[in-house]
Structure formats: C-alpha cells, structure tokens
Amino acid sequence: MTNAGVDPERRADLVSRAREVDDGPLPSCQLAVARDGCVVVFETIGAATPMCRYVTFSITKALIAAAAWLLTGDGLLDPTAPVAETIPEFAALGNRAGALVETASAT
C-alpha cells in the first residue's frame, strides 16, 4: 500500500478516529481510502475480519452525495441545473422537479 501523497499523521488520525468503534455501539467497521487510484488506507476495526462485507443500504445517500461532490468539483455536474437536463428520462415521465440540489435535499 502506498501513501499517494497522504500525510502519514493525517492518515493515523483518521484511523484513530475510526477506532472509536471499539468504545461505541457499533461492533465493527471497515475504513478504506483511495487517492489517485491507490489504496492508502484499508483497516478493519472491531469484531470483523478484512474479508467481512457490509450491507450498504444505510449509506447510499452519503455515497451518492460523495459522488455528486466529486462530479461537481470536476465540473461534470451542475447542482443548480434542472433535473430534466441531467436526466432526460425524468422529464419524459412527466416529472417536473426543480434543480438537482433541491431534489437531492428532499428527505
């Protein structure tokens, strides 16, 4: 595993914070961080092994939000654009939603 330009102290701080699972209500967690295509952190903490897999339904909003932020940062997604401009099928179904950011903030 390479450091890919990640400060070792910041990496250690991140892993240390994740280790709080040992004292909290969660039995385990996995932490993975990649930068520039290189895995720089992969830790399994608590009552799990590196081969354990987790159900992701509880993190889909955060995962989609992270992807949207990356696309926005790269100039590939405009959160102020109407949904129908980004997803033409949405308009074809007769939906009249506002901007992506408004749709994404709905709970």
pLDDT tens digits for range 70-94? 999 999 999 888 888 888 887 777 7
- Range(s) of the domain holding residue 45: 1-53
Residue where a domain terminates, one of 13, 29, 53: 53
* pLDDT for position 78: 92
CA-CA-CA-CA torsion sign (51, 54, 56, 58): negative
Indicate whether 49 and 59 sit together in one domain. Answer: no
- Given a contact cutoff of 8 angstroms between Cβ atoms, the answer to whether 83 and 72 are in contact is no
- Per-residue pLDDT at 107 exceeds 60: no
* pLDDT for position 20: 79
pLDDT confidence tier of residue 97, bands split at 50, 70 and 90:
low
Residue where a domain terminates, one of 53, 72, 94: 53
pLDDT confidence tier of residue 1, bands split at 50, 70 and 90:
low
Indicate whether 11 and 24 sit together in one domain. Answer: yes
Q: Judge if pTM exceeds 0.75.
A: no
Indicate whether 75 and 91 sit together in one domain. Answer: yes
Residue where a domain terminates, one of 21, 38, 53: 53
pLDDT tens digits for range 26-76? 888 888 888 888 888 898 988 888 898 887 777 788 888 888 889 999 999
* pLDDT for position 100: 79
How many domains does the structure of the chain reveal? 2
Q: Which residues of 50-65 are buried (b: 16+ CB within 10 A; e: fewer)?
A: eeeeeeeeeeeeeeee
* pLDDT for position 8: 87
